[in-house]
Structure formats: C-alpha cells, structure tokens
Structure 1
C-alpha cells in the first residue's frame, strides 16, 4: 500500500499542474488588460495632445503616441500568444515615458523618475528574470538622464512649462494604476495556487485509507479525517476530547501518551504500535480491538522552537500484519523445537547404535582372523560382509553425531597452523579402496608456495574425505578425480573435480541441506545418507569459510571450499563486570609511615 506522503506528493503535483494553468491565464489576462488600458487612455488623450501641438506644446503629443504605439503593439503580441514580449514591451514603454518626462522637467526628483521607478516593479510582477534585470539597468540610465537634465546638460527641445508637472502626474497615475492591476492579478494567482494546494491536501487526506488526525498545542483535536470512521467504526466527533485515548487498550496507553508528549513538547517524531477499540454494529456489547500503527509527526515552527507543537497523527490498521508476524513466530518456534528434537533423536540414536555396532565389527574381525577357530571359506565370506556392513553403519553413525553436534553448536574447533598439502596423502589413502573398485584415478594439483593454514586439521581432513568420497562415488569408471589447492586472496581454495554424472541447477542450489540427495527416491543408484556435504558446509562455516559448487548434468562437478588463511575470527563472549567485595585501602603517605615507625621503635 502506498504511503500517505507519496499520495500527498502526487496530489500536489497534479494540483500544481491543474492549478498552474489558471494562474498563467490570469497573468496573461493581466498583460492584455494593461495593453488595453494603455491604448484606451492614449487614444482618449490624443485629441488633447493634438490641441497642445497647435499651442506649440509637443510633449503631450509625444507621450500619447508612445502610449498608442505601445498599446497597439502589445495587443497584437497578445493576440499572437507572445505574452512575454508584450509584457516586456509594456515595461520598456514605461521606461521610455519616464525618460521623456524626466528630460522635460529640470527637477531631479520629478514624476518622470517616479514613472521609471514603477517599470522594475511591473517587471517583477509579470515578467521573467531577463526583463527584470534589463529594467533595472535602463532605470540607471533614466536616473542619469534626470541628473543631466537638472544640470542643464540634457534638455527638452521646448521650454519647460508648469503644465508638464500635471502631465507627469497623470502619466504616473496611469502607470500606478497598471502596476496596481498587475499586483491584484498576481495576488489572485497566489490565492488560486494556495487554494489548489489546500484542496489537494483535503481531498487526499479525506480519501486515503489511513486515518489522519491533527492535535493543537494543548492536545485538543483540530481535525479528524473521514477514514477514521472506517477504522474505528464511529463518527468523527466521537474521537474529540478524550474519545481517542478512551479507545486505546489500558496496557498500551502509557506508550501512546509518552510518544505524544515527546512529539508535542520536544518536537520528536515517534511511532508506536498499540491496540485500539473498534465498534462493530453486529457486536455492540463485545469490544473488538485492532492493532494500529500510530505515527506522530510534530509541526515545528522555526520561529517558536521553545513552545509546544501541533501534532499530526497517521493511524494505520496493521492487524493482519501483526497476526502474520505472530503466526510466523509460532511457526519458527515449532520449527526450532522440531529441529532440536531431531538433533536430540539423532544423537541418542547414534550413541545407542555405536555400542552394538562396535561389538558386531569386533566379533566379525575375530571370525575372519581365525581367533575363534578356522571357518569355511563361505563362513569367512559371510563374516567379511558382516564386518564391511558394520563399518559402513559406524561411518553413518559418526556422520549423524557430527551433524547433531554442528546443528547444536557443540562442535569445537582446535585450530593450529599446518601445511595444507599434508592433508592430501592421508585423505587419498582413506578413499583409495573405493577408487580402485571403480578404477578411478586420484590426482593432485598442489603448488609449492602454499601458505600455512590456521584451521582444525581433523575437521579439514574430514572435509576432504567427504568431498573425495562423493567425487569417487559419482564418477564414471576409468575416470579421474583431481584435488587442487590454490591461494585465493585471504583464503585457501580447496577444490575437488570429477567427471561424473553432474547435477542440475536446482540440485546445486540445495547442496548442503541435511539428508538432501540429487538422486532421491527408492530408485536411486547411489547409496548414502545425504549428510556428507551438509557436514562439509557446516565445518567450512565454522572456519568462517564457505562451500561452492559448479556442475552440469553429464559433465561432472567441481566442489570448492574456501578457508581463511588466518583461521576463524575469535568471538569474544561478553563477561559481566567484577565488583570487588572489599576495596584496597589507599596507600599511606611514605613520610608519615616512617615517622610512625620511628616512634614505635
């Protein structure tokens, strides 16, 4: 399920796109309206400007023509959809008007400079960044022109008249009206955008599955979403006051109140899982509790960091998840108990079988050696079979005992440094008889510069014997089994390669599982218990090593064991601190002790 915050983010993006169209339309409408105002006022002033020309006053006519041209040009640009250029034209026309007025009036602080000052304001409201920068640069030029005009360096062709001040005031009023209209439109843009955001938040909060509540600084409920009615089976007003706390299980109230206090007073986000009562229409008398995940998020105001904060609660029903976790815990406990019982059974079975098997093997050796008298050849053959079968069962019992010790964590390693190549000859001797039966040749590929290996030599020998016996067992007749050792970084890689039946990907993935055999079932061709590789894997992991397999059906198998050169890491057990029953007295001052000694003598 998607979280509330991701939904809110998506909703804000949608609202920004949907609401973003309307603010842009409002901005464009403001630009077009400004163009109409300029054109209309300039057209209305044109007859008076023409009359002023007949009276030898040129400035009104020039200003009216600037307004007419700017109005017509910006209107045409708006009709073509080029609103950016239209807005820029309005800004430049305002600056030109201010320049004309400030040159015509010798006073440095005149209405012309005031009109020019409104141009950057207009650009900041309706234009993009490049036009804003240019407007400020041109304003500097207009200010310089005002200074030159006041010193008489830059003068208007006609003599200054007092009417010019009135004309400047009228033009300034028009420019101020245009800027005020743009500001009003911009305010409408912000209102539309904020309203779109608020509507998006409200829509999302009211329709998400998680319940949302907002608390004031004093702990009073300010808002409850519609989802709370579905979560608690009650109306929203029933959750105000102490309604929410009353629904919390008695044992969980301290955890909730503590988390709320930390969020409200300290501004720390908290999350708790508590049980809360849900009203059900079919069982009004019997309370039903559900597990709810409560996320408490304080609303932090940077300007008021030392006061209490409003808190927003996000409540999510996690009953199903909690029930699944309990079921998984129960299943894990059952599996652990079954594993312990299995290990205990295997250990008991191994110990119970070892004593009679030792007797069977011992008596069969006595029979074959003639200690109890001469036997017929047929009886000797029977005794040899009994001895061979007994030895096989003893090996199985040893594997069972080793496996039970590994699973119980009772297999202790006796590590020491030794040369890994010394393992080859004794291990080859152990599987030599099996290899001769199948005409399998044993080969080794051991470099001379192998480092000393810190490990349990007996465990490493058992690893090699299991790998070699498996390789011989699954090899074809007259094939080769190769034992290789290499240094691989901080490890020694011991690999056994055969050219036997191989395995599929699924079998390779399950290698090392107790009692797993690639060829299972009653029709399997190869005998064995399926414990050899699981013991190899367990012994390798005890050394902080690992077991790897590479195989393909019909092409053979490569089994590799990686063992760390410096041995397994030492795991230090935590020991409790020792508190002395009696503290040693502080040493006395040596001079004082000598004085007391002299007085005693």
Structure 2
C-alpha cells in the first residue's frame, strides 16, 4: 500500500510506524524516568551504607553507576535527535545494551555494598534491588530481553552472594529472585501483547484510512483521465496526464506507458505513448523531443520490461543493478534503483504495459494490486483506440469500396438505380442516363414514377412506395418513359435492402425493346412456318396411313418398312409443329384450358399405352410402381397427358436399354403428385439451372445422339404452372433422374 505524501499528492497524510518502532519509542521514552529514579535510589542506598561498608567501595560503585547513567543519557539524547538516521532495530539494540549495563551496575552492588556481618543491611540491599527490578518493569516489560536481562543481572548476583555467605535470607532471596523473573516474563508478555494489540488496532485504522484515501485518489485520477480522453480527443495527452498522476501517487521518479506491437517477424516491442521526461544530456533531450513528435519504440527484450513483455507476467526488481534480467541503462542515464513492469491484457492478448521506476522503498505485489484500476483503464483506452483506428480504416475502405462500386455501376451495360423508402431516386448510373435520357443530377430526388408512362402509374401518388410495390416485381417486364416522351419496353428487377432503420431499393433496368422486337419476329416466323407446314404434313400423314392400311394393295416388306418409318417421322414432325404452336400460344397467352375432374391412375395408364412406341423404340419398359387410390385431379386432362408424354419421352431417351421407367401417383390434402423416375445417365450439375429453358439440351452439338427440340420441358413447365401446379426434378449424375408435377386435387 502506497501512502500519499506531501511531495506526491494533495491528499491528507495518514502514517503509522512499525511494531518495532512503537516498541523503541516506548522504551526510550522511559529512559528519563528510569535515570531519575536510579539517581534517587543510588543516593539513598549510598547514604544508608556510608558508615556500614568501605567508603571507597561506595565511591567506586557510584562511579560505575554514573558511567552507566551517562551512557544511557547520551543514547537517549542521540535517539531524540537522530532517530530517523538509523533503523529501529539499531536503536533497540543500543537500548538493550544500556539496559543490560544498568542491570549489571545494580547487580554489582552485591559485591560493593554487601555487609557480611549485618543481615539488616543485607535485607535492605536485597529489597532495594528487588524494588529497582520491579520498578524497571514499567519501562522494560515491553521488551522481554531487556526486562529479563536487567532483572537477572540486578538480582542474581546478590542471590548467589547470599548463598555463598550462607546468609539467613539466602533461601528467601532465591525464591524472590525466581518469582521476580517469572513476574518479569509474565509482565513482559502481557505488556508486549497489549502493545501489539494496540499497535494492530491503530495500524488497521490507519490502513483503512489509507485505503480510503488511496481509493479516493485513484478514483479521482481515473475520473479525470476518462473525462480528458473523451473531451480532448488527444490520446498522447490523456496518457501523459495519467502517467504523471500515477508516478506521483506511487512515489516513483520515472514511468512509461507503452503499446505492445509486433514486428514482421512477430517479435513484440513497445511503442511509447507516454513517457516521463528524464532528459539528462543533449542527446537524451533530442531523443525525448523526437519521441514527442515522432514517437519512440523499444525492441530490446534483454531488459526488465522485456522480461515482462515476453513472459506476460508482472516483473518487480528492487535491485536492478544485480538483476540478471536488467540490460543496463544508456550512458548518463539516472540509475534505476527499483522497477515494476505490469503487462496489460485485453481478452487474453497483451496490448500495453505500465512501467514505474525508482520508488525509494521499492515495489511489492501490493502496488500491482492497487494499480489494477489504472491498468484496467489503460486496457479500456486501448480497446477504444483500436476501435477508432478500425473506424478510420473502415471509413477508408467504405470510400474506396464506394468508388469501386461507382466505377462498376458506371461501367455496367444495365441501368442501375437506387431508391429510398419513399420511392425517391437516390442514385442513377451512366447506363440509366443513356436508357432514359436524363442526367443523374436531373433525376436524383424525383420519384421513380417519373420514369413510367401515366397509364402505368397509380392515381394516388401520395404514397409512391405503395404504388411501386403494386406495379413492380423482380424481373417484371413493363413500359418505361424516356425524357423525350417516347415509351419503350424494359425489364426491371427490384430488390429491397433492409437497413437498420429503413428500407432501400435497388433496381436493375434493361432496355428490352430490341429483344422484344426480335422475339416477336421470331415467334411470328415460327407460327407462320408451323401453320404452313401443318397442312401438307397432315396430307402426307393421311396418305401414308392409307397406304399402310393395305387398302391400296399388299405392299412388299421393304416398302412397308419404309412407309412405317416415314409415318413415324411424320408423326414426330407433327408433334414438333404442335409444340412450336403451343409455345407460341403460351408466350402470347392465348392458350385455353378445359378444366374437369379426372382420375390420375387412368391418365397414367392411357399415357403409357399411347407412348408404348417410344418405349419400344428405346427398348425400355414403362410401369406403375405405386399408386394411391382415389387420386382425382382438377385440371385440363389433355394438357396433363401432353406433359406426361414429354416426361415419358425424356425418361425413355436417357434410360439404359432393358431398364424400367417407374411411375408413381401420390396425394396430399391439396395436391396430386405424379413422379416419373428413370435409371439412366442423370443430369450434369452445370446443366440443372437450364433444364426448363427453351431449346436447350445437355448435348447441343450437331453430332448429338438424342433427338428432340429442347422445348418439351419448357412447355410442360408453362402448362403445369398455368394450371396452378408445380413441376420439378431431382437427379444424380450416373444414377438417373426423377421428374414430377403436382396439380390441384379434385374435391
């Protein structure tokens, strides 16, 4: 625990002495009384024995007594004036020597003043010495060695003399000596215990007070530093203010706060963010000034702070001169007499270090514990600084990404616009400018409805986002309006981006007027060709049927086979024309449906029978593997059979010879599902997204082995979806495919 002093804090002072200091103070404070009483007793004893024993012995004894008293007086005088210059143990030792010397002088009275021929004076001497011993307990009891030594030296010599002279009071005197020594030990123990209890209570009070002062001072430093960190927005100034206060609070001379960083080789080093000004010569002043402007880093790990940095544990060294971990100091640097380095962590990662040096009394583990609020504060600051730095990096990345995105948008062929929650245009790329004829600054801030003709807008324009939601959808084809008033067909894909507080919209616009015109010409061409081919093809098919029937006579086998091949190909060509006509109707939305209830199982059986020639051609077998009862569908039966024919044809074409094509019929509460499964080659993963696109085949080369137009699945998808159903598939390459469609159940 560090106590603030007048030199290092403005807080009130609370100081306490150690137990040995209290004992020394109590002992030395009793010396004047002890010397005064000794003089009185010496005088009385001298006067009483002046005419009884030899006067020369009395004078010699008094000389010895005076010498002992003078020495004790001098010791007391020096203690009063130079107490702080020597340790408490030194003063205790000198006091004990004086006490033992005093006891020896009193004990020598048995030699100089013993009246061999007069028991009265022997008793007087005995009781006087006993009184001296008992009286000395008032000042000596708190130090057992002084008390026992004094009593022993004062009384034991007389007791031995009485035994040697076989005096009448020898036995009683011996008993008295023994009792005195016991009393001395008991009194000394009680006095010492009382002193220690009093000292402990006083120390607790002072320590509590110091803890409170320390906490108040620490809280004040933390609060001031936090305020400065928020208000000043100057990290170095904040850390320098914190370091200055911590150095004062701990009574240190030097200190630093360093951020832990890592080199390219992942070696840690300290980058100073606050450092005490300890410039001692021209070179060091220049180095310090350079630190103030450009910073300073320390990468030498063969130092005390390096030991803390590499070990990740606090380092305390109160004798750096002989510490093997210390790497020395630069020439002319003030000597380091004590050092503590405290690593600071955040989520297990070392982020900073606090270093303090040259506290007079050295550092202890208690200092590390007491500095935890400061190290926690530094850790929080490092987190905040890291967030600031990351924020700056993120802002730069956002700006860079925005420029990159804008460059991509400007280079895109499709028009890209963004809308806010109210449907107001917030960005307009270059392609959009080309499509609509507006410059970005002319249209940004306007409603999207400005780009649509009036008949496409809702009459209520007070809530444009509602109108946009009603007329736009992902990939919807609609009519756009250019700046010059011309209308054109466009495709707009609008997607919503959910922000933290609002919604934004991104629209991708493509001018499809040319494509629509091309598609129209293509569809018209297909429709015209299909109609033109259908009439002669019907006549050809009818003629071939008449010839095949034998009504014109029996044909040779070779001619009959050729007629059959011609008929099959005419049927195939007729189906192709029908598919093309169906596609035309589907695209122009002119197809009509005859909805009715029909049995799914019966439909499947009819389809298998009607397409048996396909199974025979590819050498496969159509079979119903499972079927639930009472599976009635509400849809167009002919169109449903057309879809099933396409699925059976595909399954047969891609099945292995002599394999089966399984059909299953199942139902739920709302739908009837028909599944066609083959065990052929399967569909490659890269072709799966295009499986329902028009005129596409897995093998589209001119040398492909599988025939077909590539529109059967497209027609099937359109028919099923227009009848309110759903179509799909699953496939594994090399294991076969399963195509299914679901149609509403008939209730």
Normalised to the residue count of structure 2, the TM-score between the two structures is: 0.37
TM-score of the superposed pair, with normalisation by structure 1: 0.45
